[in-house]
Structure formats: C-alpha cells, structure tokens
Structure 1
Amino acid sequence: MENGTTAAAAKPRVAVVVFLLRGKTVLLGRRRSSVGDSTFALPGGHLEFGESFEECAARELKEETGLDIEKEMELLTVTNNLFLEPPKPSHYVTVFMRGVAADPDQEPQNLEPNKCDGWEWYEWDNLPNPLFWPLEKMVRTGFSPFPKTVE
C-alpha cells in the first residue's frame, strides 16, 4: 500500500471505551502503545464479532482493571478518529459508553501492564495531561460524561 500503510491499517476498526464514573471522577490510565503512548485514556478496546457495545465495554473493563460494571450502561457518543502518524497509521470509529462500577468500593488493578501504566480516578475538572487526543478533543468542546441532573 501507499505511504507505508498496511492492509490492516487501511480498514477502519471499532473501539469501545468506557467513561467509568465514581462521584465526580472518571477512571483513566496512562497508555503504553504505539498510538498515543504516555497519554491518559479511558479503559476500552476492540469490538469483537457479534458483541454488543455493552458486552465489549464490560469485557474490556474487566480485562484491563478487574472491575465489573453495572448492567445499565449508556451510549454517549461516537467519534471518527484518524491516526496518520507512523509507525502505525490507523482509523478508529470509537463508541463511548458511560457506566458505574458494580462495587463502588473496589479499586482498579492494572491487569495489562504492557498496555497501561496504571489506573486512577481523576476529577473531571482536574484531568491529567496529556490526554489521548480523541478524549482531549471532546473535553475541549465542553463535553461532559456526567448525566445532567434534573432538579
């Protein structure tokens, strides 16, 4: 293929990520990856054949953090992301889900240390830097993963 891209990179892939909320905090981990290395990102991963968005979100969260998520998840938004930088150009359609941990007192574990430096809860108004660019782009638009409260 042209420009050094591979056949795999030429096809869009689907990622499902989770805004796991606890109070006014969100769970983020520092990536160890050829795409977005050392940036803070949400837990998530590739959608597998036949999987629902909810199933993918629950599976990826469990694989990465050991946490279970409440069954009631919400689809928040979908973004179209092109990563054109070498060494691994790629195209992802990213599905953003929202949920809360089934056990609010359980702390996340780093179950994939080759992919993440660890998981921490961060206040939405005081997020770490640098954020993974699709997340940073959303934050800059004023997006909030927290439900609007009706009073």
Structure 2
Amino acid sequence: MIRNDAGEYLLHLRDHIPGIWEPGMWSLLGGGREPADRSLEETVRRELLEEAGLHIPVLMPFGVEYAKSSDGATVPIQIFAGHWSGDPAGLELTEGVMLHWFRPGIMPCLRMSPSTLDVVLRHAETCAADANRPEDSGTLSGRTSAPESRPPAAPLLPASSPGGGAVLNVVGVHLYLERDDGRILLGLRHPDSAYAGSTWHFLAGHCEQESAVACLIREAKEEAGLLIRPEDVDLVHTVHLVDTHGGQPRMQMVFRARKWRGEPEILEPDKCTAWQWWEPDALPSRTVPYARAAVAGIGVGRRYTEVGWS
C-alpha cells in the first residue's frame, strides 16, 4: 500500500484474464511468498521490483486483509505501507494494465475488492488522525520517524468540500433480525478485524456492483447461511456516519428481514466468531456505537440517525 505526498494511493489495474486473482480489478501491488523469501517483507519487496521496478526505502506492516480466492477459500494477506511520490507512468510495469494514483474518496466508484477498499480507507483515516496529533507523537501509520522527515499526510476529502467537489459515501448494509421473543441477532467480530475487533455488531457488508437489498441477501447467506427473499426485507433505519474529522462518510443502511430460513452459522470465522440473540435494551457493553444507535432508533420508530458530524 503506497501513499504519496498528496494523500493518494497507488493502485494496480490487473489483467482481465479469467482464472487469475481479481481479474480486471484495481488492487495493491503484491504477490505470493516464494520458498526463497526469508520474510513477508522480503516477499513484498521482491514483488514490487519484479512487477514495477519499485524500491520503497521504508515498509511497515499495517494490518491483515482477509480476501477470498477463486475457489472460495479465505486467504490472509499481510499489508505493508510505504511512501513514494513518483510518476507511475515512468515505471516499467511487467504485469497488469497500468498503475495510477487515486484519492481515497473516489475509490468506492472503482471495481476493487471490498476488503482492499476497506484497508486503504482505514489507512487513510489513520493518516488523517496522525496529521491532527502533536508533532512530537512521532508515528505515522505504524512508521516511526523524526517529525521533520514525515511526509505530509493529507486527510480524506472533507465531508463538506469548500472547493465544490463531490464527496463519495461508502454504502454499508446491515441485517436487523428479530425473533418472536424480541431478541435481535448480533455477531462477535474477530479480534483481528480491521474494524471493531472483539465487538458485537450487525451482520453487515459493503455494497459492490449490486443493489443494497441484493448485498444484504448475499452477505446473510455467505456469513451466516441465512436465506432471505427480497420481498421480506424492509429498510428500518439509516445511520449517516463519519468516524473521524474529515474522514470518509458512510451511509449505513439497516434492513429488517420479516422472514428468513435457517439458523445463524459461523461460516466466516475470520470475520465473526459467534452469533448471539440479545434483548434490544440490554445489548453487550462492547457493541459498535452506531449499531447501538440504530437499535435505539428502531425501538422508538425513528428512521434516521447522524453520528460524528458535529
């Protein structure tokens, strides 16, 4: 994950060849470990040189992205972060179609993996937060350096753009499932989740090239084995959320399924480690705050909540 002085990220447009990893999608440069590689850092440095002739002086681990391979298996990918501000047109690309700089605000419009989009946006949020800290904090996105050597960390496009540019919102969908006894379903997120680890949350996901209802139905089946029909779904609450000042806005849509088939199963243990039914007025203390706000809003018949804008 390579960021420049302008706060843009270098993305790689992959070949559109059936059978390869993420064909025709924008992704990060990288690849698989080979037997001769002594570490994952050595792997990523080799891949950067082989694919684009790039040498990044400082690379620091940022997190782990969990992606799905073509056979449906979950694959952990170590993400390293580095800084470079060159012209990608001058690089000799040996794989894929092209390299291009993108600001985080435009990325939800690109054809890219939701897990890759999520990890880049979270890195950008971290850089924005670091930019607002005192200079003597000495860290930027996991990289320790002297303050004067730190590259400028541009925040994401602001929620209100004085320059008049449009700001794109990430759209999330969430399942509000309520049993006959009034209890609702929440999942315990994996401790290593990039967002809200070890915290209870709705079954949720990001919209891809699909409608919000289609996304909800897909996520319910993939994450918990629940079968839901479109005609049994109602939008019951929306949370317009911004996690950090100047951060990426998110429109979080909460849908109630009036009917469904199946009992919740742990089908993606790298994301969710437990499903449990809770009383709406007695949620666990470690519940995602905007999910708690949505449950409270649904309880009183309110359809909309704003979080983080004031």
% of aligned pairs identical?
31
SS in 1 for 2:235: strand
Are 2:298 and 1:138 equivalent residues in the alignment?
no
5+ long unaligned stretches in structure 2: 1-6, 9-82, 84-102, 108-120, 122-155, 157-167, 302-310
Q: Displacement of 1:91 after TM fit?
A: 3.4
Q: 2:251 aligns with which of 81, 85, 93?
A: 93
Are 2:236 and 1:76 equivalent residues in the alignment?
yes
Q: Give the direction of change, closer, same or farther, for the CA distance of 1:146–1:67 in structure 2 (3 Å limit).
A: farther
Match for residue 56 of structure 1? Answer: 215
Q: Displacement of 1:121 after TM fit?
A: 1.4
Are 2:267 and 1:108 equivalent residues in the alignment?
no
Give the aligned CA root-mean-square deviation in angstroms.
Answer: 2.6
**Bigger relative CO (Cα 8 Å, ≥ 6 apart):** 1
Deviations 1:21-74 (A, max 9, x none): 11201110011222211111000101111x222211111111110011243110
Q: Give the direction of change, closer, same or farther, for the CA distance of 1:145–1:109 in structure 2 (3 Å limit).
A: farther
SS in 2 for 1:144: helix
Are 2:273 and 1:117 equivalent residues in the alignment?
yes
Q: Which has the larger radius of gyration?
A: 2
Match for residue 28 of structure 1? Answer: 186
Distance 1:91 1:146 in 2: 25
Deviations 1:75-97 (A, max 9, x none): 11221212239xxx653211110
Structure 1 runs, 4 residues or longer, greater than 4 Å off: none
Distance 2:208 2:213 in 1: 12
SS in 2 for 1:125: coil
Task: Give the structure with the larger helix fraction.
Answer: 2
Are 2:194 and 1:47 equivalent residues in the alignment?
no
Q: Displacement of 1:136 after TM fit?
A: 2.1
Distance 2:268 2:259 in 1: 19
Distance 2:179 2:276 in 1: 11
User: 2:237–2:297: 8 Å Cα contact kept in structure 1?
Assistant: no
Distance 1:90 1:31 in 2: 22
Count, aligned residues: 137
5+ long unaligned stretches in structure 1: none
Are 2:176 and 1:15 equivalent residues in the alignment?
no
Q: 1:66 aligns with which of 211, 218, 225?
A: 225
Q: Displacement of 1:112 after TM fit?
A: 0.9
Tell me the TM-score normalised to structure 1 length: 0.77
User: 1:41–1:131: 8 Å Cα contact kept in structure 2?
Assistant: yes
User: 1:69–1:100: 8 Å Cα contact kept in structure 2?
Assistant: no
Distance 2:177 2:256 in 1: 6
